[in-house]
Chains A and B, each alone.
Chain A
């Protein structure tokens, strides 16, 4: 190890694609009983483009973090075998590897676009005179045509991900790693990021590894698919088409979106009659900014009719006020103007404006599933959290327990009854957040991006569950970008910025 020549300095010269070699490599996070990864044997040649797949918990992210050298040291976990980058331990390959993560918000480091891109170069001690040309080049490569002093806080999700990519590209890495880089983006954002990556790879020839549930985004970019086995090692490895056709079935079961095997749409049996539950007329929505009195309106002139057994989706570009509309329909924000009235069926004897209802009165009338499930978790265990709603309603202990047990069973959360909601996986958190709302049996369900970043299995379960609820007569309104979700469930689409809702076919295509 000592006589290997040092890496060429990160600055100056061509980008040299790196080689990855794992020999019986494994990692166990400190404090965990099970191995995150074990018995991994793998070789990736310089310039190869790899899509890394595997069921949730197969250790994909752990491998990515290890390759990027950010997994930590002996204090953070136990390493077995070896994982080498150009013959060196990954942790020593500083600057040779660039990693872009899933969450756009937690990767922006500095306040101005140029400074943020320069950050990595500074850390690698690139001379100042060379940093700024690199920054400009990286921004051009990712297609971010913005002044260097543009504030990073005003970027959209897709722009933030391209900024993170530019920050990594400016370091001129020989290995580019992307860990679900587009999971939190709308369809436009997804393509922006994908195209930026392809452009930069064509230019640099760097080795490339990406994790992504949505295979169709990357299948034409990569030339090899590696599937990790949750039990350890590699399940399948080979050319993209071959692996997808040979392993498609198995991958789909593990939650991977295999283009040839789309999830099935549930059959709906619409109810009649479908009475109106909530009606918006000339509604304007907005939030009261911090320290102000009047709401700043983000969308106005909204006229909507939410009926029992009917699914309405709210669509529109980012920043159009979709989430604000959802929160207003849910009775959580006061309308900025216009009227929002619950019908007698929904109000059931109380005033008709949902924002004037008491918190406890909302429970049986309108349930809200937030975009970030973590925002609605209140108790230290899954069971205790699910009981909060039923208890607030004053139900008997026996009724509370039976409702919670039934829900945990229906949403496959039984084995997690005593787990802390914050420690669940992404799919489990989503199911849990829906369960908390269903526990009080509301008649209208408001969902904000319910399928964002979900694997195909959770997606399928969620859509089937929602279809059942619709058939039971629950009204549903969902803010979404997800075309498949709309195809599977939506009866009406309300596009923000358009005057009237669009009638869609009912249920399955």
Chain B
């Protein structure tokens, strides 16, 4: 398995058009970013949880991939509860740290929001092959092929950066400048290889560009696509579900009178 050819288990979600998935993630995020309250985020998260069961990730994959969000959400929550803007009844105080009803609610709203926006984003991405996403962006959204395919080909170089970085750090040790020198030495050991890596990467990039050009890429002539990227009924349904989640979450929050429009 690698970054560019993830092993994706066949599932309903894996067969959907990546552009539709991207649209859903964007729709839900936009709706949730308009307000900071715990009801809308909680409702969205609840509805999403139902969908995530269909995503085709194994339990292990799911927890592994989404681990960053599960760490980030409580962190964001605790920080806001402790240091967030105070309002309402004082619940607990220690020095300048104070927990009030307002800050607790705000913390809950932020924590749920990180989950409600982060989880579907990561899960949808984990079930999407980058090549399919590029096909979708170019064929469905009509983004310029030069930009989309250039980016996709460039992504392949990332794996090589890691290899190069490893060799560069070993080479510095071999050349007698791999340790010592205190913090200044440490800084030099980071920026030195970083510069070499930049030079090596730029070269690799330009070689790749030549190879692509030699295969007829980058002209203004029209091109065809070997892999069709089609929007099917199921994709429309998915986008509909996205709007439904956003709509229901917003409506419930407005009905519960917790909706607080951030621009208001």
Contact = CB atoms under 8 A, between A and B. Distances in A.
Q: Which secondary structure characterizes the binding site on chain B?
A: helix
Nearest to B176: A392
Contacts of A112: 5, 131
B216 A95 contact: yes
Contacts of B160: 105
Nearest to B217: A123
Interface stretch (B79-87, B88-96, B202-210, B250-258): B202-210
A466 B107 CA distance: 68
B223 A358 contact: no
B72 interface: no
B131 A359 contact: no
Given A151-B4, A153-B159, A360-B180, A378 B172 contact: yes
Interface in B1-58: 2, 4-5
A403 interface: no
B223 A122 contact: yes
B211 to A, nearest CB: 4
A94 B223 CA distance: 13
Given A120-B215, A131-B226, A359-B176, A374 B200 contact: yes
Interface in A110-149: 110-112, 114-115, 118-128, 131-132, 135, 149
A98 interface: yes
A396 interface: no
B187 interface: no
B61 to A, nearest CB: 16
A278 interface: no
Contacts of B172: 359, 378
A168 B131 contact: no
Interface in B158-212: 159-160, 162, 164, 166-168, 170-180, 192, 196, 199-200, 204, 207-208, 210-212
B216 A124 contact: yes
A357 to B, nearest CB: 9
B232 interface: no
B5 A153 contact: yes
Given A378-B172, A388-B175, A120 B216 contact: yes
Contacts of A110: 131, 152-153, 156
Interface residues of B, number: 52
Given A95-B216, A359-B177, A359-B180, A332 B225 contact: no
A107 interface: yes
A362 B204 CA distance: 31
A327 B172 CA distance: 13
A12 B258 CA distance: 66
Contacts of B171: 368, 370, 375-376
A358 B213 CA distance: 46
Interface residues of A, number: 70
B216 A171 contact: yes
Interface string A414-427: 00000000100000
Interface string A236-279: 00000000000000000000000000000000000000000000
Contacts of B4: 111, 151, 153
A141 to B, nearest CB: 17
Contacts, number: 169
A367 interface: yes
Nearest to B152: A110
Contacts of A171: 215-216
B214 interface: yes
Given A109-B208, A128-B226, A359-B180, A368 B216 contact: no
Interface in A339-361: 358-360
Contacts of A153: 2, 4-5, 156, 159
B60 interface: no
Contacts of B223: 122-125
Contact of A107 (B5, B130, B179, B211): B211
B174 A332 contact: yes
A397 interface: no
Contacts of A51: none
B170 A327 contact: yes
A363 B4 CA distance: 40
A164 B217 CA distance: 14
Nearest to A359: B178
Contacts of B180: 358-360
Considering residues B170, B176, B228, which has the most beta carbons from chain A within 10 angstroms of its beta carbon?
B176
A327 B131 CA distance: 35
A118 B217 CA distance: 12
B2 A151 contact: yes
A321 to B, nearest CB: 15
Interface string A8-37: 000000000000000000000000000000
B214 to A, nearest CB: 4
Contacts of B207: 101, 103, 106-107
A230 to B, nearest CB: 23
B170 A436 contact: no
A362 B174 contact: yes
Nearest to A151: B5
A389 B215 contact: no
B171 to A, nearest CB: 4
Interface string A388-423: 110011000000000000000000000000000010
23 contacts: A95-B216, A99-B211, A101-B207, A106-B207, A107-B207, A109-B149, A111-B130, A124-B216, A124-B223, A125-B223, A126-B224, A127-B224, A151-B5, A153-B2, A168-B215, A287-B166, A290-B162, A368-B171, A378-B177, A378-B196, A388-B176, A389-B175, A389-B176
| CB-based closest 3 A-B pairs | A359-B178, A123-B216, A392-B176
Given A70-B214, A106-B207, 8 more contacts: A94-B221, A111-B156, A119-B217, A122-B223, A125-B221, A378-B175, A437-B174, A440-B176
